[in-house]
Amino acid sequence: MRYLLDTNIVIYYLRGNKEVVNFVDKILTQGLAVSTITLAELFHGANKSQNAKRNISLINQFIDTPQITVLQTDEIIAASYGKLMAKLEQKGIKLAGLDTLIAATAISNNLIILTADKKHFPRLSKFGLKIQLA
């Protein structure tokens, strides 16, 4: 497993964004992961959408793909989150708690986070987060 997919990448993939679909399909054999935090965000969005049943089905199909691993939040990730959040606060960097938890998941598992977020995650590279922008 090499990449952790950020929520926005999964959304773009499920919506059929050609660039993202091509890139994800190209790296699929390297092993991809999503965090339970990303799943929570995806299911939240699906449940408030106009076509909840269809969108939930798409999410379930995506995570049932054999090359996709769902990473549970555990004690190691929780400790990494606490350390990262404290460092961010000391530096005066504000980042949403869920994004920080996704970043901690990537750091704890030595994964590259694949994201379209050019604003928030790149600020975390100096804290050990490996990032690939899509």
Confidence of residue 108 (pLDDT cuts 50, 70, 90): very high
Over residues 88-96, the mean pLDDT reads 90
> pLDDT (tens digit, 9 = 90+) per residue, 54-86?
999 999 999 999 999 999 999 999 999 999 999
pLDDT above 80 for 1: no
Tokens of 69: 């691993």
DSSP code of 90? Answer: H
Confidence of residue 95 (pLDDT cuts 50, 70, 90): confident
For 43-93, where are the E strands, in sequence order?
68-71
The CATH number that applies at residue 26 is: 3.40.50.1010
Judge contact between 32 and 1, C-beta under 8 A. yes
- Minimal CA–CA distance to 9: which of 51, 57, 68? 68
Domain that residue 12 falls in: 3-133
The residue type found at 124 is L
Confidence of residue 91 (pLDDT cuts 50, 70, 90): very high
Confidence of residue 131 (pLDDT cuts 50, 70, 90): very high
| List of residues 6+ apart from 63 with CB closer than 8 A | 34, 39, 70
> pLDDT (tens digit, 9 = 90+) per residue, 16-55?
999 999 999 999 998 899 999 999 999 999 999 999 999 9
What is the domain count for the chain? 1
Give the CA distances from residue 100 to residues 3, 11, 26, 77, 121, in Å, rounded to whole numbers and listed in that order.
Answer: 16, 19, 27, 10, 9
